[in-house]
Structure 1
Amino acid sequence: MAMIAVQVVLEKLASFVAEETRFLGGVRGGIVELLDDLYSMKSFLQDAEERSESDQGLRAWVKQVRDVAYDAEDILEEFMLRFAPSHESGFIHHLRNSYRSIRKLSARHRLAVQLQSIKARVKAISERRNAFSLNRIDMPSTSSATVEKWHDPRLAALYLDEADVVGIENPKHLLVSWLVEGEEKLSSISVVGMGGLGKTTLVKKVYDSHPIRRSFDTHSWVTVSKSFASTELLRVALQGFLVTANEPVPDNLQSMTDFQLIDALRNYLWRRRYVIVLDDVWNVNAWETIKYAFPDCNCGSRIIFTTRLSNLAESIENTSHVYELQALLENEAWTLFCMKAFRGEHKAVCPPELEEMSRNILKKCEGLPLAIVAIGGLLSKKKNGGLEWKKVHDCLATELKSNDDLGSLRRILQLSYDNLPYYLKQCYLYLSVFPEDYLIKRMKLIRLWIVERFVEEKQGFTMEEVAEEHLVLAFSQSSKLGGPMFFLFPFESTSKK
């Protein structure tokens, strides 16, 4: 949120300084200084927002940044409203303009004072960042800061008992057949689906199954994530192959370079039938940096990718199959919900007096296993039956934000949200002003985005066409978030006004 707020203000300030030099007068220098200060602060915000989940002090600092950005935007818009040049002409306009100029002197002075106050706040907030040892990030981060601070919500998916998993038997058998059968050349399989749908759980059950263990000589599992380093991916892959084959790990593994690791992997895997899982791949660069480590020696080797991005799966070479994981069917979702919400004495059976409320809560989960498990686990701790359950139903958004039992769900959604480009983040968050389940007219939304300056000019396109592009992209990204775009359409073409 703070990154979006600062980005919006930066764009408005830059445009304002470039286009409205004529009437900025003495405050132009102050606005340019504010622009420079905000640009500097923005470079630290990505690291701050990633780490703020587990650091209360840093969370407060990010809020201060967001608040000062909003205040700066308010002052800028008031300045534009009061001092933008009029397009009237003639003698009457000249008289009006003279009168207005006198009145504007005090207003200009007041806004200049407010601008100085904003600059002082920005400077003080910027200086306080030193207490948090923030890293400057001008490009997408490859640091391990997030990994160190972030409790990885995917870990639990790797260690679920078979009895705790619902609806995976058919896809499991299908994936096993794709891996074991088929051509002898090296090929890849991608499992695609939104965060929390169970990709990691499904593939781990396949990876650990007897047919896979029996059919392949060696195996390795690598969790990739959004922040990755090629050296670490190669190191984990090599160590995984060696450990599963009960072979010694080199003493110098930690000091090996990328070239040494690639050579070691190629030499070890040559003439072996291997399978490797690359879990949670966010962009094709993660694969491009390590693909030469995996030779094709016509032994029937396989590479499995899990990803939230269908276009990424399509761009990977040697792809033989793409499996798109779907939400749970209604009966499967109900079974899983009862398993989690009614443990112990209830033996996974919903009491009649709670069934209607349970099904209403379950509808909000949209068949998403992670949401069902998290909310079911939360409800299993509620002692006062229907009253407590109704409170959860009515205040689910608040519970998601504040309840520790829903932390894994919150983190999965945060990962997806963080991966959106900033211009989509602000468009997405704007949808929160509409009531839940409200049907938003497409052209109305496009025009609102344009008015709010969420849409940048693009050469050769109208603003409406650029906004439409944002809308199509937001719609395609919504499956990763399980978010409000689900409630927007049937989608219509741009020709319908």
Structure 2
Amino acid sequence: MEAYTAVISLLQTLDQPYISELFHDHSTEMLDSLRATAECFQNALENTSNEKIKSLEEDIRVVVSEAEDVVEMMISEIIEGKSWTFLKSSKDVLKKMDKTKKQVMEILELTADSLIGASSMSDPMLSDQLEDDIVQGLDGDLEIIDKRLTGPTLDLDIVTISGMGGIGKTTLAKKAYDHLSIRYHFDIFVWVTISQEFRYRNVLLEALHCISKHRVIENTKDYVNMNDSELADLVQKSLKGPRYLFVVDDIWSRDVWDSISQIFPNCNNRSRVLLTTRETEVAMYANTSIPHKMNLLDLDNSWKLLRDKVFGLEHDHPAELEEIGKTIAENVKDFP
């Protein structure tokens, strides 16, 4: 409880309306990093009952309290017009926060499977996942995408999924987006859908709507009165600092990628863009590495998917229908 109280106190300090004005010429990225880490601690303390997480509560309380002390001292010095002498202290506390966050994430990632099945999980973002964990035939694809999204590369990486329409690219991206290990690896989550009727402004507004769920966007005018360039600049600035996952779903052309790629800042913090497209050429254009190509389900998985959709996950099927069911699944599997 003391750890949770300390986290909430730090978040309240960071969310004071005067903070952005005071630190306008100082390290706002540091404050963004502190806020993202504190929110990670808040989620872990609210949504898990893991004993190993409980064993870290004192570490979380100590490092969060130190962080709030440093922020308050920095505020005091800025107000008094003194030179900023707490630079080293701020770097030290950031390192401690990051170390503790890594310990929390490692525990959560190791126990992700058990947590997914826990009936006590209350995170609304994961409700769909609890009901329908992994679509038949996509579990192997999900593991590959998860590893690419959480890989060690510090630079911004573009992870691409390609394949024919209706094969499950969006479903796979959604499963990765909602996967518990991914939820605790990234700080900000953004999902935009492109499709053939591309409207740059709508994409920017959709992105800002997602970002606003994770952090306060300061100093903004009414979006209606902002032009596209101002909106794009706001998206980019809002993504700087925290580690973000930005999903670009169903992109059709290289021109569209050129239009939106400018809004992704490279903060060297393992942020990722996950892109889905039916055009392999577009996937290769966004990232020259080989895209993850979705393939048709094999007969066994096609039959399992059809069976579960018709009879439900927990219901037996009449044995006499299995042969004709597999025939239907075979025909569906081969349908272009």
1:193–1:326 contact (8 Å) kept in structure 2: yes
Q: Look up the match of 1:370.
A: none
In 2 relative to 1, CA 286–339 (structure 1 residues): closer, same or farther, beyond 3 Å? same
1:192–1:324 contact (8 Å) kept in structure 2: yes
Deviation of the 1:249 alpha carbon: 9.9
Deviation of the 1:186 alpha carbon: 1.0
Q: Look up the match of 2:124.
A: none
Q: Per-residue CA shift, 1:310-367, capped at 9, x if unaligned?
A: 11111114x55511111112211111111122249xx543323323322221111016
In 2 relative to 1, CA 265–279 (structure 1 residues): closer, same or farther, beyond 3 Å? same
Task: Give matches, 1:191-210, under 5 Å.
Answer: 191-210=161-180
User: Please, which of 313, 319, 324 is the counterpart of residue 357 of structure 1?
Assistant: 324
What one-letter code is carried by the residue in structure 1 that aligns with 2:145? L
Deviation of the 1:257 alpha carbon: 1.3
TM-score, normalised to structure 2, is: 0.57
Q: Look up the match of 1:451.
A: none
How far apart in 2 are the matches of 1:354 and 1:334? 11
How far apart in 2 are the matches of 1:159 and 1:329? 25
How far apart in 2 are the matches of 1:249 and 1:338? 53
Q: Look up the match of 1:302.
A: 272
Q: Look up the match of 2:239.
A: 269
2:156–2:269 contact (8 Å) kept in structure 1: yes
How far apart in 2 are the matches of 1:195 and 1:304? 17
What one-letter code is carried by the residue in structure 2 that aligns with 1:212? I
Q: Look up the match of 2:296.
A: 327
- SS of the aligned residue for 1:340 comes to helix
What one-letter code is carried by the residue in structure 2 that aligns with 1:195? G
- SS of the aligned residue for 2:152 comes to coil
Q: Look up the match of 1:253.
A: 223
Q: Look up the match of 2:146.
A: 176
How far apart in 1 are the matches of 2:174 and 2:180? 12
How far apart in 1 are the matches of 2:147 and 2:205? 29
2:299–2:326 contact (8 Å) kept in structure 1: no
| Larger relative contact order (CA 8 Å, sep ≥ 6) | 2
What one-letter code is carried by the residue in structure 2 that aligns with 1:177? K
Deviation of the 1:163 alpha carbon: 4.5
1:313 aligns with 2:280: no
How far apart in 2 are the matches of 1:321 and 1:343? 36
1:197–1:325 contact (8 Å) kept in structure 2: yes
How far apart in 1 are the matches of 2:216 and 2:309? 37
How far apart in 2 are the matches of 1:320 and 1:183? 14
Deviation of the 1:296 alpha carbon: 1.2
How far apart in 2 are the matches of 1:219 and 1:192? 21
Q: Which has the larger radius of gyration?
A: 1
What one-letter code is carried by the residue in structure 1 that aligns with 2:214? T
- SS of the aligned residue for 1:338 comes to helix
Deviation of the 1:250 alpha carbon: 4.6
Deviation of the 1:185 alpha carbon: 0.8
1:284 aligns with 2:251: no
- SS of the aligned residue for 1:281 comes to coil
- SS of the aligned residue for 2:196 comes to coil
1:216 aligns with 2:183: no
How far apart in 1 are the matches of 2:206 and 2:185? 22
In 2 relative to 1, CA 269–178 (structure 1 residues): closer, same or farther, beyond 3 Å? same
In 2 relative to 1, CA 348–324 (structure 1 residues): closer, same or farther, beyond 3 Å? farther
1:220–1:244 contact (8 Å) kept in structure 2: no
What one-letter code is carried by the residue in structure 2 that aligns with 1:226? Q
1:273–1:301 contact (8 Å) kept in structure 2: yes
- SS of the aligned residue for 1:244 comes to coil
How far apart in 1 are the matches of 2:182 and 2:215? 14
Deviation of the 1:308 alpha carbon: 0.8
- SS of the aligned residue for 1:197 comes to coil
How far apart in 1 are the matches of 2:323 and 2:179? 38
> Root-mean-square deviation (CA), in Å?
2.4
How far apart in 1 are the matches of 2:312 and 2:180? 30
2:299–2:333 contact (8 Å) kept in structure 1: no
How far apart in 1 are the matches of 2:242 and 2:133? 34
1:339 aligns with 2:308: yes
How far apart in 2 are the matches of 1:279 and 1:187? 16
TM-score, normalised to structure 1, is: 0.39
- SS of the aligned residue for 2:213 comes to helix
How far apart in 1 are the matches of 2:304 and 2:193? 29
How far apart in 1 are the matches of 2:323 and 2:231? 57
1:162 aligns with 2:132: yes
